[in-house]
Each structure stands twice: as C-alpha cells, then as structure tokens.
Amino acid sequence: MLYIECPYCGSRAHEEFTYIGDATKKRPDGAEKNDPAWVDYVYTRDNPRGPHLELWHHSLGCREVVKVLRNTLTHEILATGRPGDEIAAPEAEAGQ
C-alpha cells in the first residue's frame, strides 16, 4: 500500500487522497483569455518518468492540499509538504 505523509495529519493511506494535478504549472499573470500561455496552463501536461511534483487533496482527511514529490516509475513518495513549500525535484526524463 502507498502511504502519503500529510504535513497536517501524518502518514495516511493514499486512498484518502485525490490527485489534483501537476504542481509545477504556474498560473500566467496578465495574459489574455486566448493567450497561448493560458492554453498551455490549462491543457498542456508533461508525462515525466521519474520524480514529479504533484498536488494531492486529502479528501478523506483534513481536506488540505498537499504537495507531493512522487517517482512516477516506482510510485515512491520522495517528499511531501504544504503547497507553498519549496521541494527540490530532481530532473525527470521527458515522457512519451
């Protein structure tokens, strides 16, 4: 079973969490609605192999958002933190 260390609750089973998405995407500032930066922000996702920063929602726990560094090949949880925390992510290989 996969366990995720919630910074608010401690170690919990991953079934308590809901995957939200890529934590590396930055919301564009001042861009127009049809700006390609918004299209990229909303629709374009990488599919990395290796360590990847993700946001998970502790939906069956404290209902807080947790930043997770997860290896997409092994599913190993390498680090967790609050959404504003800096978590250094090693470079992952580009997916296909």
| Residues at the contact surface with Zn ion, assessed by CB under 5 A | 6, 8-9, 58, 61-62
Closest CB to Zn ion among residues 4, 48: 4
What is the smallest separation between the CB atom of 37 and Zn ion, expressed in angstroms? Answer: 32
Closest CB to Zn ion among residues 9, 92: 9
Look up residue 96 and give its amino acid.
Answer: Q
Q: 37-72 burial, b if ≥16 CB within 10 A, otherwise e?
A: eeeeeeeeeeebebbbbbbbbbeebeeeebbbbbbb
What is the smallest separation between the CB atom of 21 and Zn ion, expressed in angstroms? Answer: 18
Whether 73 and 50 have beta carbons less than 8 Å apart is answered as yes
Closest CB to Zn ion among residues 5, 22: 5
What is the smallest separation between the CB atom of 59 and Zn ion, expressed in angstroms? Answer: 9
Q: How far is CA 32 from the centre of its chain?
A: 26
